Copies of this chain bind each other. A is one copy, B any other.
Amino acid sequence: MPATGVQLDEVVAVAGFRAALRGFLRTSETKARRNGLTPQRYHLLLMIKGASDRSETLSVTDLADKLQIAQSTATELVTRAEEAGLVRRIASPRDGRVALVQLTGEGEQRFARVFEELSTERDQLRSAIEALG
């Protein structure tokens, strides 16, 4: 076997982390779907809710950036979430041409349910991460 510069103990830790991550993403998806949310829609709600802390309201462009998807994909995602009653668009108070995206009460509740249901899995992932050293 040829010598490589890779530290085997690091590979072991990273492999363990990747396995834990795969399990986490899989359970996230299952729990989101059980609450009627696609994984992408759950992430959309998470990003909007996560920004609301700093009383920040995100535009579709901000969301495209945070979700690392194309602007057109983000527009479509927001439109469909709006049709599903999860988010609403409001005109930016600073620039009426810019639409900001907010959670509706239904979006808020649906998000909170999935987020709470994932609490155990987040703890497990945290343990796997701590094992990374």
Contacts and interface: CB of A to CB of B under 8 A. Distances in A.
Interface of A: 1-2, 4-6, 8-9, 11-12, 14-16, 18-19, 21-23, 26, 43, 46-47, 49-53, 66-68, 103, 105, 108-109, 111-112, 115-116, 122, 126, 129, 132
Contact of A52 (B8, B23, B26, B132): B8
Contact of A2 (B12, B15, B19, B105): B105
Contacts of A111: 6
Per DSSP, chain A at the interface is helix
Nearest to A22: B68
B8 A115 contact: no
B4 A18 contact: no
